[in-house]
């Protein structure tokens, strides 16, 4: 399943009413890879989290296909993420007490029984293709690269159409980061998924179809690659 | 409908009633668990949280366990003490004494906590002993002691009535002989000189020269009589310089019949009727101006019914204390929930329903409560053993308290109540701002 993105008249505010980000128009086709760059505090992550439907105070429209996240309730947004979005974070956010598979197949805990087998199988497949140790070890003994690969497998395990990544290489050394970029881009392209990644890493941004600058809470220029 | 239900309930065996009660008390906990976790598998994540904060969690479990252990231990103990005091009074069907306080006399004659009381004379004793309905009328003459053992004057028939066959040796057959209770440290063949009075005020030298020899030992009775030394009542009278209950021609006789003219008096007479119903007739007959007759069992029942009120208060206080401790623990959990708020926010970001986060936190808290309650059961078992041995050694009343259905019911009620309270931290964890927590 592929989902085109159409954002219009978006305004994201704090619960107190302060405006964090505005975006009059932004579009992305299914399977596109898009980088978001800009100084710290410019609103990149805010835009990314808005695309995931995580901000409680939003107006305007964020349409993934026919679904407008802004109009949905919290529960419906969570259901949308559960079905269509995979998230990757800068500091991995793994459960240290679980194994690689335990983390990658985390969604089995809250998905219906009918989907659990598929999620586990997909998680196993991605862990294998990403060369993550598949033993029963907990991930607290893993290197940074192994942890982020585990996080990628978790983001892909439920076969989402959209991958949203927040500084996925920022906690990794150069060599590990480059390897991870190859894996992330390779997998998303091979699976025809839409990737939106916030990053300061030029190595990652140069592999994107497009890069958007975000400054002072606004989406600025668009460039085809860097 | 309700009457039919009551009939049905009353037709069940006590065991079935207890099991059903337990199930009903646990039902809210089980139902809450099923409703909260329905459709989810929060076990692995709750387990991860338990492991991550294992030392804090162990402290929480220990706090719950100790509060439950002490609570159920005390309640079981109270029941054990009631059974122990009742068992100790079992052989004392009817006591006749001079008018006064039934409780004072019961403590003196049954539990051997002597007091100064007026004596019954020989005529009254003879009247009782020769009554057609009376099977056994034994004087119980307390007031002397040897170290911590009360020395009680009575008859061979009473010794047999109290303890049955002797464990060792033989019955006393002469003044100057004694049968020891099972926990008396004197061995057969050893002699001692009784002191006048008991405890700190005992006059050690008062009966100097009246050596008494142990010739037999009673089996354990689980009552203060295990620490007593039983001598012929004649011996007690003699060491006090009185006539010994028999005329000069029969002065070496031990036991009944006594001669009213030579009967110096006894503080209490144990009466055993030949028929159960006769006890009531005898009590009426000897409840009069110069005598008081009472059933120690009935006096004890009155005391127990008074204690019953206290027991209910104790039960409520025990539950309240446990709930307070658990409320403290749950407050701690709310603080702890901040530490794993980022993980919970992650779950929400990955698309987990709010109810799933709720289920994880609730399962985590409920596991602490259930483990604490289970450990509390163990702690209660130990507490009961320790308190029983202390009470037994202090009172000489054998208290064999064990945890039983009331304690299981109490714990089940506690679990149900507190897992409902655990909904609160779960709710608070669910209501947090996802973005704030993700960026924390």
Residuewise pLDDT in 10s, chain B (440 residues)? 688 888 888 888 889 999 999 999 999 999 999 999 999 999 999 999 899 889 999 999 999 999 889 888 888 888 888 888 888 888 888 999 999 889 898 988 888 887 788 888 888 989 998 988 898 999 998 888 888 889 999 999 999 999 888 899 999 998 889 999 998 999 999 998 888 766 666 666 666 667 889 999 999 988 888 989 999 988 888 888 888 888 888 888 888 888 888 888 899 999 998 888 888 899 999 998 989 999 998 898 888 888 777 777 877 888 788 788 878 878 887 887 778 888 899 999 999 999 999 999 999 999 999 999 999 999 999 888 888 888 888 877 788 878 888 889 989 998 998 899 889 888 888 888 888 888 87
B41, B48, B348: residue with CB nearest A95: B48
Length of chain B: 440
Q: Does B86 touch chain A (CB under 8 A)?
A: no
Cβ B440 vs Cβ B338: under 8 Å: no
CA dist A219 and A117 (Å) reads 40
> Which chain B residues are closer than 8 Å to A150 by Cβ?
none
A207, part of any domain: yes
Q: For position B237, what pLDDT does the model report?
A: 87
DSSP category for residue B152: E
Contact A78 B351 (CB under 8 A): yes
Interface mutation vs chain A, best among B339, B349, B430, most A CBs within 10 Å = B349
> Which chain A residues are closer than 8 Å to B42 by Cβ?
109
DSSP category for residue B231: E
**E strand or H helix at B179:** strand B177-180
A157, part of any domain: yes
Q: For residue B428, which phi and psi values (nearest 5 degrees)? A: -65, -35
- Which CATH number characterizes residue A176's domain? 3.40.50.300
What is the number of helices (H) and of strands (E) in chain B? 15, 11
What Rg do the C-alpha atoms of chain A give, in angstroms?
17
Cβ B320 vs Cβ A77: under 8 Å: no
Q: For position B164, what pLDDT does the model report?
A: 86
Name the one residue in this structure whose structure tokens are 């659990």: A116
- Which residue segment(s) compose the domain that A121 sits in? 33-53+73-223
A200, part of any domain: yes
CA dist A77 and A89 (Å) reads 19
CA dist B226 and B181 (Å) reads 4
Name the one residue in this structure whose structure tokens are 């290197």: A143
In the numeric block, which tokens belong to residue B29?
């906990």
Contact B352 A109 (CB under 8 A): yes
Nearest Cα residue in chain B from A46: B435
A78, A80, A89: residue with CB nearest B348: A78
> Which chain A residues are closer than 8 Å to B351 by Cβ?
78-83, 85, 107, 110
A21, part of any domain: no
> Which chain B residues are closer than 8 Å to A156 by Cβ?
none
CA dist A127 and B183 (Å) reads 73
Q: Establish, for the pair of chains A and B, how many residue pairs have beta carbons separated by less than 8 Å.
A: 75
A74, A98, A109: residue with CB nearest B354: A74
**E strand or H helix at B138:** strand B134-146
Residue B334 C-alpha, separation from nearest chain A C-alpha, in angstroms: 20
Contact A93 B342 (CB under 8 A): yes
With helix as H, strand as E and coil as C, how does chain A read? CCCCEEEEEEEEECCCCCEEEEEEEEEECCCCEEEEECCCCCCHHHHHHHHCCCCCCEEEEEEECCEEHHHCCHHHHHHHHHHHEEEECCCCCCCCCCEHHHHHCHHHHCCCHHHHHHHHHHHHHHHHHCCCCCCCCEHHHCCHHHHHHHHHHHHHCCCCCEEEEECCCCCCCHHHHHHHHHHHHHHHHHCCCEEEEECCCHHHHCCCCEEEEEECCEEEEEECCC
Per-residue model confidence as pLDDT tens digits over A74-119: 999 999 999 999 999 988 899 999 999 999 999 999 999 999 999 9
Nearest Cα residue in chain A from B360: A109
CA dist B39 and A109 (Å) reads 9
**Beta-ladder partners of B13:** none
| Residues of chain A that touch chain B, judged by Cβ-Cβ distance less than 8 Å | 15, 45, 49, 52, 54-56, 74-75, 78-83, 85, 87, 89, 93, 95-98, 102, 106-110, 112, 154
Residue A98 C-alpha, separation from nearest chain B C-alpha, in angstroms: 7
Q: For position A223, what pLDDT does the model report?
A: 47
The strand pair at A58-64 and A5-13 is best described as antiparallel
Q: For position A204, what pLDDT does the model report?
A: 93
Nearest Cα residue in chain A from B436: A55
How many alpha carbons lie under 13 Å from residue B288 in its C-beta half-sphere?
Answer: 8
Contact B353 A80 (CB under 8 A): no
A10, part of any domain: no
Nearest Cα residue in chain A from B346: A93
**E strand or H helix at B136:** strand B134-146
Cβ B72 vs Cβ B230: under 8 Å: no
CA dist B206 and B188 (Å) reads 24
Question: How many independent structural domains does chain A possess?
Answer: 1
The strand pair at B292-294 and A33-37 is best described as unpaired
Residue B41 C-alpha, separation from nearest chain A C-alpha, in angstroms: 5
Who contacts B151 (Cβ-Cβ below 8 Å, separation ≥6)? B144, B145, B178, B194, B212, B228, B229, B231, B236
Burial degree of A178 (CB within 10 A; 0-12, 13-18, 19+) = middle
**Beta-ladder partners of A157:** none
Contact A97 B48 (CB under 8 A): yes
Residue A4 C-alpha, separation from nearest chain B C-alpha, in angstroms: 20
Cβ A214 vs Cβ A42: under 8 Å: yes
Per-residue model confidence as pLDDT tens digits over B333-349: 788 777 888 889 999 99
Residue A224 pLDDT greater than 50, yes or no: no
Give residue limits of the domains in chain B. Answer: 14-87+303-438, 94-294
Contact B52 A98 (CB under 8 A): no
Going by C-alpha positions, the residue among A214, A155, A162 that lies closest to residue A180 is A155
Contact B349 A81 (CB under 8 A): yes
A18, part of any domain: no
> Which chain B residues are closer than 8 Å to A85 by Cβ?
351
């Amino acid at each position: 399943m592929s989902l085109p993105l159409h954002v219009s008249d978006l305004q994201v505010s704090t619960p107190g009413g302060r405006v964090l980000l505005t975006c009059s128009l932004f579009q992305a086709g299914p399977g596109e890879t898009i980088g978001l760059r800009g100084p710290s505090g410019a609103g990149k992550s805010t835009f990314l989290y808005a695309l995931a439907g995580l901000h409680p105070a939003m107006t305007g429209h964020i349409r993934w296909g026919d679904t407008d996240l802004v109009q949905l309730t919290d529960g419906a947004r969570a259901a949308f993420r559960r079905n269509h979005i995979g998230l990757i974070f800068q500091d991995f956010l793994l459960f240290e007490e679980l194994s690689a598979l335990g983390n990658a197949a985390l969604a089995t805990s809250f998905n219906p029984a009918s989907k659990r087998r598929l999620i586990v199988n997909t998680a196993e497949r991605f862990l294998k293709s990403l060369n993550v140790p598949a033993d029963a070890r907990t991930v607290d003994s893993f290197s940074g690269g192994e942890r982020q690969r585990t996080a990628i497998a978790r983001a892909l395990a439920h076969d989402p159409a959209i991958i949203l990544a927040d500084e996925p290489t920022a906690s990794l050394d150069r060599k590990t980061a480059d390897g991870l970029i190859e894996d992330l881009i390779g997998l998303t392209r091979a699976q025809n998924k839409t990737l939106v990644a916030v990053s300061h890493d030029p190595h990652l941004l140069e592999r994107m179809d497009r890069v958007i600058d975000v400054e002072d809470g606004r989406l600025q220029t668009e460039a085809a690659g860097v | 409908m309700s009457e039919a239900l009551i009939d049905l309930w009353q037709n069940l065996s006590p065991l079935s009633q207890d099991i059903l009660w337990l199930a009903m008390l646990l039902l809210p906990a089980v139902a809450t668990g099923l409703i909260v976790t329905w459709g989810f598998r929060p076990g692995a994540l709750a387990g991860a949280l338990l492991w991550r904060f294992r030392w804090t969690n162990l402290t929480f479990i220990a706090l719950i366990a100790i509060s439950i252990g002490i609570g159920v231990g005390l309640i079981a103990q109270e029941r054990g003490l009631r059974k122990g005091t009742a068992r100790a009074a079992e052989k004392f069907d009817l006591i006749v004494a001079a008018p006064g306080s039934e409780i004072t006399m019961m403590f003196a004659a049954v539990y051997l906590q002597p007091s100064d009381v007026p004596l019954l004379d020989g005529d009254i004793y003879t009247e009782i002993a020769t009554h057609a309905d009376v099977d056994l009328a034994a004087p119980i003459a307390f007031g002397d002691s040897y170290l911590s053992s009360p020395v009680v004057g009575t008859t061979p028939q009473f010794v047999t009535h109290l303890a049955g066959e002797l464990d060792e040796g033989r019955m006393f057959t002469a003044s100057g002989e004694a049968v020891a209770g099972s926990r008396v440290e004197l061995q057969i063949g050893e002699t001692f000189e009784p002191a006048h009075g008991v405890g700190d005020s005992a006059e050690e030298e008062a009966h100097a020269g009246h050596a008494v020899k142990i010739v037999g030992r009673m089996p354990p009775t689980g009552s203060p009589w295990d620490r007593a030394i039983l001598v012929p009542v004649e011996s007690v009278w003699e060491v006090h310089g009185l006539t010994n209950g028999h005329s000069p021609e029969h002065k070496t006789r031990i036991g009944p019949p006594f001669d009213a003219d030579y009967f110096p008096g006894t503080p209490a007479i144990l009466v055993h009727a030949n028929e159960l119903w006769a006890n009531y007739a005898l009590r009426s007959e000897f409840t009069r101006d110069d005598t008081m007759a009472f059933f120690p069992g009935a006096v004890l029942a009155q005391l127990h019914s008074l204690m019953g009120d206290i027991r209910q208060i104790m039960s409520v206080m025990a539950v309240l204390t446990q709930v307070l401790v658990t409320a403290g623990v749950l407050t701690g959990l709310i603080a702890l929930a901040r530490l794993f708020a980022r993980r919970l926010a992650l779950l929400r970001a990955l698309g987990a329903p709010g109810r799933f986060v709720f289920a994880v936190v609730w399962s985590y808290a409920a596991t602490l409560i259930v483990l604490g309650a289970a450990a509390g059961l163990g702690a209660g078992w130990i507490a009961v053993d320790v308190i029983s041995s202390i009470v037994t050694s202090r009172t000489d009343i054998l208290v064999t308290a064990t945890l039983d259905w009331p304690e299981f019911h109490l714990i089940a009620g506690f679990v149900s109540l507190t897992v409902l309270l655990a909904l609160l931290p779960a709710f608070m964890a669910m209501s947090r701002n996802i973005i704030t927590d993700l960026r924390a």
